[in-house]
A and B are shown apart, each in its own frame.
Chain A
Amino acid sequence: MDEYPLLVAERIGKHFGGLRALQGVSLSLGEKTITGLIGPNGAGKTTFFNVLTGIYKPDEGTVHFAGAPLPSGKPHRVAERGIARTFQNIRLFSQMTVLENVMVGRHLRTRAGLLGALFKTAGTLREEQAIRDRAFQLLEFVGIAAHATRVAATLSYGDQRRLEIARALATDPRLLALDEPAAGMNAMERKRLGGLLEQIRNMGTAVLLIEHDVRWVMGLCDRITVLDHGERIAEGTPREVQTDLRVIEAYLGTSRSVTA
């Protein structure tokens, strides 16, 4: 299955005014893999996610997903094609309940329309129940079902991150893109999260994840891409990346610490 890649991003470029946030970045990943995207602060990782998920339009480059080009600048079309994401600075529907947040994620895969809502047709009621059941199932999967009726904003930080994952999973994605899902978690929570991500991969959803904790990523990912100053400086298995001189330099900042 690894023969044809699920996602192929080629020579993505994006700049903000004079700032080159991404330059010729290519990345491809296969089904049933966990891929890490790492790099120092401001390297362009989040910007890459935003381009990938249609929030920004790239200035250069193309993205193919599951064999067809991905529309740029249309987040909802990207989600429809099967890429779901989370956000670095958590973006939940904070005043809705935990369960409702996940139910919103089911919107894409359900059909009930205006008339069904106004006249409460049998089909609509059935679908609504199915949405609810599936949402609850996902909450159980990520381990926060006990908080289903709470308002999302009242959850702890770690639970909010888990909720974002459940909400993304609700769209039945083929690729789950996570922007620093482990930020602010302790070692125990990280370990549990790692297990969860492996489970997701084994069920057939590819995972692309941004992370700063290099050791954790190395243990978890099948392949890793490293960005620095908007450019891809390395790509390979964790072992290959670990020994790459440019990566070591970027992380330790040798060249810069000498001049500074």
Chain B
Amino acid sequence: MATFFQQLVNGLTLGSIYALVALGYTMVYGIMELINFAHGDMVMVGALVTLSLTHVLAGLGVPLALALPLSLLGAMAVCMALGWLIERVAYRPLRRAPRLAPLITAIGLSMVIEQVAALLWGRGYLTFSLPVSRVWNLGGVVVTPIQTGVLGLSLLLMWGLLWLVRKTSLGRAMRATAQNPEVARLMGVDTDQVISMTFVLGSALAAVAGLMVVAYYGIGNYTMGFMLGLKAFTAAVLGGIGSLAGAMWGGLLLGVVEALGAGYIGDVTGGLFGSNYKDVFAFLVLIGVLIFHPQGLLGGRAGEKV
């Protein structure tokens, strides 16, 4: 039973990171029906910038409690600028192009970001260790301060995002644009700006997720965004793409499924498959959802208007 709860805690931690990244996918998709392939790489950029800035600041003698938030802010700024730039340069000119076109530019961008990161940070793994050694042991279930930090911070951010979308004028403009861009434009919403802001917001969340990943795993690498992005996208689809609450539930659920799956697959299959298959779960979930319930847990968009 302890294994179960342990995996549950691990899964929730992982899941809340997925959820943050999934929000970025789902917001962009909800507003312009585009899968932003490069979003996973935004997490990587956020992670590596945070990591480097922290090292630099620590080298200057800045205490970690200050260096870490400063680095995160720096990383968020970088990611937000990058997200804005990407939308502007690569997606906006293609709004009216055939569907394949923005998908292909997105793949190209993802390659460019990864390779530039490889040039800047090298191809090896960078380590990142926070000096926190305390753990809480709750009846055999080990919880680390990093885990609680990840969970707490992501819940806070999700709540903040929901508030923003539901209560502010920017949020209202976003919802209007998602429903019907033409009408929104007629009603005086600057849809171009709304789309820009959506990318910027998603990128900021990605930067935070980046910090969480390096803090949790202790390593970062220029390819780390790929698998994470794929899983976060799965989470968004699982929850119902276009739905914010869906992305959160989808992320948490996927994290838990994956952790429990990795923990138990050996027992269930009698040792036939080991935990090295854990990455397969996300895809099986994705394919399963798309086949049996493509609108996801909380989604529900009308079909194409003919």
A–B contact, 8 Å CB criterion (strictly below): yes
A contact residues vs B (CB 8 Å cutoff):
16-17, 46, 50, 55-56, 87
B contact residues vs A (CB 8 Å cutoff):
302-303, 306
Note all chain B residues with C-beta closer than 8 A to A50: 306
The 7 closest A-B pairs by CB, nearest first: A55-B306, A50-B306, A16-B302, A87-B306, A17-B302, A46-B306, A56-B303
Note all chain B residues with C-beta closer than 8 A to A16: 302
**In whole Å, how far is A140's beta carbon from the nearest beta carbon of chain B?**
29
Note all chain A residues with C-beta closer than 8 A to B302: 16-17
CA distance A16 to B302 in the complex (A): 7
Interface of chain B: mostly helix, strand, loop or mixed = loop
Q: Identify the closest chain A residue to B302 (Cβ).
A: A16
CA distance A87 to B306 in the complex (A): 8
CA distance A50 to B302 in the complex (A): 14
**In whole Å, how far is B98's beta carbon from the nearest beta carbon of chain A?**
10
**In whole Å, how far is B221's beta carbon from the nearest beta carbon of chain A?**
43
Show 7 residue pairs from A and B whose CB-CB distance is below 8 angstroms, ordered by the A residue.
A16-B302, A17-B302, A46-B306, A50-B306, A55-B306, A56-B303, A87-B306
Note all chain A residues with C-beta closer than 8 A to B306: 46, 50, 55, 87
Q: Identify the closest chain B residue to A46 (Cβ).
A: B306
**In whole Å, how far is B232's beta carbon from the nearest beta carbon of chain A?**
29
Note all chain B residues with C-beta closer than 8 A to A55: 306
Note all chain B residues with C-beta closer than 8 A to A56: 303
**In whole Å, how far is A169's beta carbon from the nearest beta carbon of chain B?**
20
Q: Identify the closest chain A residue to B300 (Cβ).
A: A17
Note all chain B residues with C-beta closer than 8 A to A17: 302
CA distance A55 to B303 in the complex (A): 10
Note all chain A residues with C-beta closer than 8 A to B303: 56
**In whole Å, how far is A237's beta carbon from the nearest beta carbon of chain B?**
30
Q: Identify the closest chain B residue to A49 (Cβ).
A: B306
**In whole Å, how far is B292's beta carbon from the nearest beta carbon of chain A?**
17
CA distance A56 to B303 in the complex (A): 9
CA distance A17 to B303 in the complex (A): 11
**In whole Å, how far is A79's beta carbon from the nearest beta carbon of chain B?**
15
**In whole Å, how far is A224's beta carbon from the nearest beta carbon of chain B?**
23
Note all chain B residues with C-beta closer than 8 A to A87: 306
**In whole Å, how far is A12's beta carbon from the nearest beta carbon of chain B?**
16
CA distance A55 to B302 in the complex (A): 13
CA distance A17 to B180 in the complex (A): 15
CA distance A17 to B302 in the complex (A): 8
**In whole Å, how far is A260's beta carbon from the nearest beta carbon of chain B?**
20
CA distance A223 to B266 in the complex (A): 70
**In whole Å, how far is B305's beta carbon from the nearest beta carbon of chain A?**
9
Q: Identify the closest chain B residue to A17 (Cβ).
A: B302
CA distance A50 to B304 in the complex (A): 11
CA distance A46 to B306 in the complex (A): 8
**In whole Å, how far is A84's beta carbon from the nearest beta carbon of chain B?**
15
Q: Identify the closest chain B residue to A88 (Cβ).
A: B306
**In whole Å, how far is B299's beta carbon from the nearest beta carbon of chain A?**
14
Q: Identify the closest chain A residue to B98 (Cβ).
A: A95
CA distance A17 to B300 in the complex (A): 10
CA distance A16 to B303 in the complex (A): 10
CA distance A50 to B306 in the complex (A): 8
**In whole Å, how far is B231's beta carbon from the nearest beta carbon of chain A?**
31
CA distance A188 to B218 in the complex (A): 76
CA distance A16 to B306 in the complex (A): 13
**In whole Å, how far is B182's beta carbon from the nearest beta carbon of chain A?**
14
**In whole Å, how far is B295's beta carbon from the nearest beta carbon of chain A?**
13
CA distance A56 to B305 in the complex (A): 10
CA distance A87 to B114 in the complex (A): 45
CA distance A56 to B304 in the complex (A): 10
**In whole Å, how far is B157's beta carbon from the nearest beta carbon of chain A?**
30
CA distance A37 to B302 in the complex (A): 25
CA distance A87 to B304 in the complex (A): 14
**In whole Å, how far is A180's beta carbon from the nearest beta carbon of chain B?**
13
Q: Identify the closest chain B residue to A55 (Cβ).
A: B306
CA distance A46 to B305 in the complex (A): 10
**In whole Å, how far is A91's beta carbon from the nearest beta carbon of chain B?**
8
CA distance A56 to B302 in the complex (A): 11
Q: Identify the closest chain A residue to B303 (Cβ).
A: A56
Q: Identify the closest chain B residue to A57 (Cβ).
A: B303
**In whole Å, how far is B178's beta carbon from the nearest beta carbon of chain A?**
15
CA distance A32 to B306 in the complex (A): 28
Q: Identify the closest chain A residue to B304 (Cβ).
A: A55
Q: Identify the closest chain B residue to A50 (Cβ).
A: B306
CA distance A258 to B266 in the complex (A): 74
**In whole Å, how far is A59's beta carbon from the nearest beta carbon of chain B?**
13
**In whole Å, how far is A182's beta carbon from the nearest beta carbon of chain B?**
19
Q: Identify the closest chain B residue to A56 (Cβ).
A: B303
CA distance A214 to B12 in the complex (A): 63
CA distance A55 to B304 in the complex (A): 10
**In whole Å, how far is A21's beta carbon from the nearest beta carbon of chain B?**
11
CA distance A202 to B306 in the complex (A): 30
**In whole Å, how far is A202's beta carbon from the nearest beta carbon of chain B?**
30
